[in-house]
Each structure stands twice: as structure tokens, then as C-alpha cells.
Structure 1
Amino acid sequence: MVNRNRLPRWVNALIDAIADAPMSPIGRLAARRMGTPAPAGTIPAITFPERPIRVLIAPVNYSGQARAWAQALEASSPEISARNTAMDVPGGFSFDADLIVPVATFHNDADWQRRQFDAAAHATHVLIEAAEPPFGRMLGRSVEAQVEALRARGVDIAYLAHGTEIRMPSRDLRDNPWSHYADPEIYAPRDETLARRNIALLRRSGRPLFVSTPDLLLDLPEAHWCPVVVDLSRWEPAAPRTERPAGAPLRVAHAPSVSTIKGTHLILPTLRALEAEGTIELQLITGVPSAQMPAKFAEADVVIDQMRIGSYGVAAAEAMAAGCVVVGHIAPRVREIVEDATGSPPPIVEATVDTIEQVLRELAAGDLRTLRTRSREFVTQVHDGTRSAATLRTHWIDAGARPDTEGTSDASPR
């Protein structure tokens, strides 16, 4: 990919103008590059078991979280049926969803969009992820227009932000000395524009707002933290962990899904040096399907997670569930947010680029059993889905605030 920081300003302005006008002739042409939709009628719309409360979460399912939240909601009450829809993006990670839609169908198949809208209008509640339009290019690809069409059918709406779509580069650069927005590979001006635009959209919606990681409350403080969810039984090692023999290297894993953001290049020289001297045994995990990750984490004593964002997410929770000690950088304010919300500080060992060597040396020389126990207890308390479902229900589903349904119509939008 081209590094946009190296392009002339007018070229970046042109790129942004095309992205901001998806229904223009050039925008329509760009959409065709997503491919040809599946044959007409072959991709179904979502369906719900008939229960009093029917929830749809759409349309991105990052890290499989939409499906996990849906399952947590169903587990919380026999009156709730919850489903999720996700785009199938070629080359992306493979996560289960209740309905996976090819990206070309999602964006370019007007028939599927209408059928999916009618199915979603049968829900009582729709949670929109990442400020993305749940019905592709319907109604000019406008999130607000699609939401108003659902509200006209009596559907209660809420929004959930996952990360980049509301994380403000200017705020992060001011507060975070390790901010990835300072990296020349990241084109921060576009992220700044989109974050400002999305935050404004969410605020003027007047709807309940949620975020998936606690650091996002720094950018959207009126939201509620809906913790990420992990399947504890899936991540628990098949066999009990055995302690490292005295003097054996510390088994360290790092899974840089996006290495620039996770800070891999900033710590890799230190990790290689520690490996060369026998202090650690390093496993870099790249390109591994989600289904194989539990076995990878079962082989590690320590998992190094985020070194730049100042928070933690799905990977750290999964590693804790697998019985690993997690090392990463969490900003002091984010640690306070987590402890205030849960009553427990996150048991993630603090390290920065400057301190990672000393932290790993201390862990290699110490006993990890207490940290492992605390980590497993924390992820069970905070990330098993119970707290997430309670948050969505307390601040949205059970709150009793339903949209005005005057003028409700059975017609589908075009």
C-alpha cells in the first residue's frame, strides 16, 4: 500500500473526496472493485427465533465480538434472541457469525440490502458497530438515514465503537508518548477527520453509546464500557500447565496483528537480544487462524500485547484466559477506569518500550503462578460475557426507552 504521508496534499484531498462520496460516479466505480455479488437470492437475510426481545448486532464482528455479545445476551434471559451479521472481507481473519455476507453482496446487491432491512426491522433492537451502515450502500450508504428508516419501523437503536473510528489522533498524540499516530506509516489526518465525524454522529443520535475497550472512554466519555468477551472453556489449556524448570528460558509469545500499532518493531531488537542470550524463547505469531490460537498461547508463559495504544483488548483477554501472564502498556487513566468499573485493577504487567527488557528479566527470574491466578480470576470476572450483557441491558435494552414509532410504515426504503 502507498504511504499517504508521502503523497502531495492535493492527492490526499482527492482520495478523501472520493471516499466521502460513495454514491458519486467515481464512488460507484470504486465499489465495483469489491467484486460481483453472489447470484440473486442466494445470500439469506438474518432470522430470529420468535422471542419478546430480538437483537441484531451488525455489521463488522471485529474479533468475533458481535457474536460473543449476542450469545451473552441470549444467555442472560430466555426472552432474548440475539443474532449478528458480518461482512466476509477477503484476506481477513475468519470469525464465526450468525450470518456472513460476501463483501460484494453487502455493498452492491440492492435486493439483499432490502431483504436484510426487512429482517432487521423485525428486530426490537439493533446495535450498530463501528459507525458503519448495516445495509451497505442502501440510502446513499448513510448510517443516519438507515437508522432513521429502522426507527420509523419501531426499532430501538444503539451504537458501539470498536476503536479507530472514534480514537482521536490529536488527543492520543498529546497524552500518549508511544502513540502509533506518530509513526510515519499511519496517515493520522484522515483518522482525525473520521473520528471527529463519527463522534459527532454518535452524539447527535441521542441513542445509547457503548465502547468495547476502556481507553475509548477518553474520546467518548458519555459511552458505557461493554467489555470484550472470551470463551473461557475454549482458551483453557487442554492439560495443566507445568512450571518452567529453573534456568529455562521464559517462553514469550507476541501476536502482532498490526505490528505498527502494537509496537512490534519498537521492541523486537530487545526481544531478539534476550532470546540470543537465553533469557527468553520468542514465538512471533503471524498469519495464524483464530482456531489455532489457543494451542499457541498454551505454549507460552508470557504474552506481550499492546505497547502503544495504552489499553488492552481481545488478545490480552484471550491470553489471560489461557493462563498466560500478559505484558503491555496501559495508561494510568485507563487502569483507573477499569478498576473503577470492575473493582479490580487489570493484572497486566506494565511495560513500555523503555522498560520491556527489565520487566522480562524479572519475570524470567520469578514465579508466575500468582500472576496467572489473578489473570484467570480477572478475565472470568470481567470478560466471560456476563458483565457485557448486563451493560447492554441496563443502559439500553431494559431501559425502556423506545423510539417514537409515529408514522411507522411497512414499506422498505430504497
Structure 2
Amino acid sequence: MRILMLAINDPAGTAIAFANALNRHTEHTCRVVTLETRYTHSWEKDLHVPDLDATGLAEVEYLLETSDIFHFHMTADETLRFGPFLPADYMRGKRIVHHHHGHPDFRGNPGKYSKKYAQLGRTKLLVSTPDLLRLLPEATWQPNLVPNNDPLLLPMGGKPDDPLRIAHSPTRKDLKNTDDLLRALNGLKTQGVHPLLDMIDDVPHSECLRRKRRCHILFDHMQGYYGVSSLEGLSQGLAVVAGLDDWCAGHVRDFSGVEELPWVTASPETLEKTLYNLANDPDRIREIGRASRRFMETAWSERKVAQRLADFYTA
């Protein structure tokens, strides 16, 4: 099947990651059309409308005409204009997929979207993390993926234990428990523990991955679910700290088939103690890192996640 992903902007580079994985591991072909660049992370692009000349726009039109599936990300739909083209004009015979990634309007008004899809008879609905199933229970959870054999997502060998490095890459600090992390690190200092924090912000994604690889611990966030940052850290063989709740962990166990998940779970109340224990046990950090990488190779591989999405399209 020919899939065309359409998005205002590519959320955390997930659309292009899915497209690359589908093209690598399935019989389907997938392309991505985007309208805007947000942040300065330099995600890989496919057909980015502001960059296209007349020939590029002609290719967009060809894909709109010939694709079998329109896969809309975030709040995009057929009424969103992509340059001179309106997807609504090319809907005949297309399967329509709506894929939500936690946009604030969706989180704040899930009923609006549920009602809209019911009225339109749209049933091919995806959410990117299990917590969003609470907002759109008629959807299917489609795990995000990372290309786990990319050199920047492989574990770094020969990394010294000292100094201990903790990575944190919050796109939005208010949503990523950054203040809780800083509080916990200040508490560690009073106990004579002084890890180095690499606060990775506003840099290209490749630079972000290079800096994460040099660290021993990755702090994602404690919002009850995991982010793409978690998956990157697990692939790199880091000890990944996040606040997965029972709901999210249960869905992850069902998908992965693994009962003991590699995340180091913490809450704002336990984060300082969690980091203290890790800082004083480098052997445990290495053990967790090996389990993290093994999990991504066997239970959450790019191929496995891409096939799940391919199966969703054809079901």
C-alpha cells in the first residue's frame, strides 16, 4: 500500500521515523508532507512544503492522487491546506487514519475529536502513548519507535564511570518535571553526591543523541508515561528514569511481552533517593543499561513496531 503521512509539524520526528521503518521493513511505501518547523532539532524531512519548488509541489500532488492511505498526525485533517493542495479534494477511495500525539488541544478537548470522528465514520484512530487511550478509548495504541541500529542509538563502549553523567532533554521543561530533577540533584549535593547534569536543550537532534550517549543515566519525565527520549536512552543502553504509572506499564507489558520492564521508575517524592542509589552503584547502572538495550533489540525493535503499524493499516 502507498501511505501518505500529513502533518503540520513532525512531532518529535516520529512521522519520518515511521516512514523510514515502513520503507525498510515492510512491503509498503510511505512519504511524509509537513508544513512547519518547530524548535531547532533539525529532524529529517521528506517533503517540507516551504522548501519545495514547482517540481516538489508536483510530487506532493501526485502523492495526494495516488496514495491509498492518508495518515494525519496531531490535529491535521483533510481541511488543512498543504501549499496549493487541499487533501479533501483527493479523498475518494482513500483510507483515513488519525494519529494523536498529545497535542494540548486534544488533551484539553478529547470529546471534540471523538465526536468528530464518530460523525465522519472514522474508525482508524491511533494514539502514541497508552495514557491517551483514556482520552480516546476507541483508538489503538501505536508505540513510537527509534531506529535502534543507528550508530547514534547504539551503546557507547569504553565510557568511564566517573564522573557520573545524567542527561535530560526537555522540549518543554514545564511538562518534563525538570524542576523536580533539579530539586533532587540539589538534595544529592547535600549528601556529597555530585553527578554532572547535561541539560540538552535547543540543539539539533543528532547532537542531542551524541550527548545522551556519553551519559550513564537519562531522566525522561514523571507524567505517568514515557517519551521518545526514553526509547532513545533505552536503545543507547542507559539507565532510564521515568514515572510510568500502572496503566502505562500494563500496556507496555502487553505489547512487549516482557514482565520486568527496564525503566527505573520514580515519583517526585522518590526521585532523589532513586538517583542516590544509582549514583552509588555503577555496577547496577551497567546492568540496567544492558537490560535496556536488550529490551529494545528484542521487545521493541524498529521492525516489530513498523509491522504493528503495517498490520493496523491492513486490518
Q: Which category of TM-score, normalised to the shorter sequence, fits these structures?
A: 0.7 to 0.9
State the shift of 1:341 in Å: 2.0
**How has the CA–CA distance of structure 1 residues 293 and 370 changed in structure 2, closer, same or farther, with 3 Å as cutoff?**
same
Matched, 1:76 2:18: no
* Superposed CA RMSD: 3.0
Which of the numbers 170, 175, 186 marks the counterpart of 1:261? 175
Residue of structure 1 equivalent to 2:45: 97
Map 1:110-189; keep pairs closer than 5 Å.
116-117=60-61, 119-133=63-77, 136-137=80-81, 149-152=89-92, 154-164=93-103, 168=107
Task: Count how many residue pairs are aligned between Structure 1 and Structure 2.
Answer: 308
State the shift of 1:199 in Å: 2.9
Q: Partners in 1 of 2:13 and 2:73 — Cα distance?
A: 12
State the shift of 1:298 in Å: 1.7
Q: Partners in 2 of 1:241 and 1:137 — Cα distance?
A: 50
Map 1:3-42; keep pairs closer than 5 Å.
none
Question: 3-state SS of the aligned residue for 2:149?
Answer: helix
Which of the numbers 284, 308, 332 marks the counterpart of 2:199? 284
**How has the CA–CA distance of structure 1 residues 71 and 382 changed in structure 2, closer, same or farther, with 3 Å as cutoff?**
farther
Instruction: Give the percent of matched residue pairs that are identical in Structure 1 and Structure 2.
Output: 25
Q: Partners in 1 of 2:153 and 2:59 — Cα distance?
A: 40
Which of the numbers 302, 318, 323 marks the counterpart of 2:217? 302
Q: Partners in 2 of 1:198 and 1:92 — Cα distance?
A: 29
Residue of structure 2 equivalent to 1:337: 251
Question: 3-state SS of the aligned residue for 2:268?
Answer: coil
Question: 3-state SS of the aligned residue for 2:241?
Answer: strand
Residue of structure 2 equivalent to 1:24: none
State the shift of 1:283 in Å: 1.7
Given that 1:320 and 1:379 are in contact with CA atoms closer than 8 Å, whether structure 2 keeps it comes out as yes
Q: Partners in 2 of 1:316 and 1:73 — Cα distance?
A: 22
Q: Partners in 2 of 1:266 and 1:74 — Cα distance?
A: 40
Residue of structure 1 equivalent to 2:148: 232
Letter paired with 1:156 = R
Q: Partners in 2 of 1:135 and 1:76 — Cα distance?
A: 31
State the shift of 1:272 in Å: 3.0
Map 1:373-392; keep pairs closer than 5 Å.
373-392=290-309
Q: Partners in 2 of 1:199 and 1:310 — Cα distance?
A: 23
Q: Partners in 1 of 2:32 and 2:144 — Cα distance?
A: 15
**How has the CA–CA distance of structure 1 residues 233 and 392 changed in structure 2, closer, same or farther, with 3 Å as cutoff?**
closer
Letter paired with 1:300 = C
Given that 2:155 and 2:237 are in contact with CA atoms closer than 8 Å, whether structure 1 keeps it comes out as no
**How has the CA–CA distance of structure 1 residues 136 and 118 changed in structure 2, closer, same or farther, with 3 Å as cutoff?**
farther
Letter paired with 2:33 = T
State the shift of 1:368 in Å: 1.6
Given that 1:303 and 1:325 are in contact with CA atoms closer than 8 Å, whether structure 2 keeps it comes out as yes
Residue of structure 2 equivalent to 1:350: 265
TM-score by length of 2: 0.86
State the shift of 1:217 in Å: 1.6
Q: Partners in 1 of 2:133 and 2:158 — Cα distance?
A: 36
Task: Note the alpha carbon deviations across 1:218-270, whole angstroms, 9 max, x for none.
Answer: 222222222111122333457514452xxx45321111210000011233122
State the shift of 1:129 in Å: 0.6
Given that 1:158 and 1:208 are in contact with CA atoms closer than 8 Å, whether structure 2 keeps it comes out as yes
**How has the CA–CA distance of structure 1 residues 166 and 196 changed in structure 2, closer, same or farther, with 3 Å as cutoff?**
farther
Residue of structure 2 equivalent to 1:316: 230
Letter paired with 2:18 = W
- Which runs of 5 or more residues in structure 1 are unaligned? 1-52, 169-191, 400-414
- Which runs of 5 or more residues in structure 2 are unaligned? none
Q: Partners in 1 of 2:81 and 2:127 — Cα distance?
A: 25
Task: Note the alpha carbon deviations across 1:66-101, whole angstroms, 9 max, x for none.
Answer: 1111122122334x2211112232644321121112
Q: Partners in 2 of 1:202 and 1:306 — Cα distance?
A: 31
**How has the CA–CA distance of structure 1 residues 206 and 352 changed in structure 2, closer, same or farther, with 3 Å as cutoff?**
same
Given that 2:35 and 2:48 are in contact with CA atoms closer than 8 Å, whether structure 1 keeps it comes out as yes
Residue of structure 2 equivalent to 1:39: none
TM-score by length of 1: 0.67
Given that 1:310 and 1:330 are in contact with CA atoms closer than 8 Å, whether structure 2 keeps it comes out as yes
Q: Partners in 1 of 2:148 and 2:269 — Cα distance?
A: 33
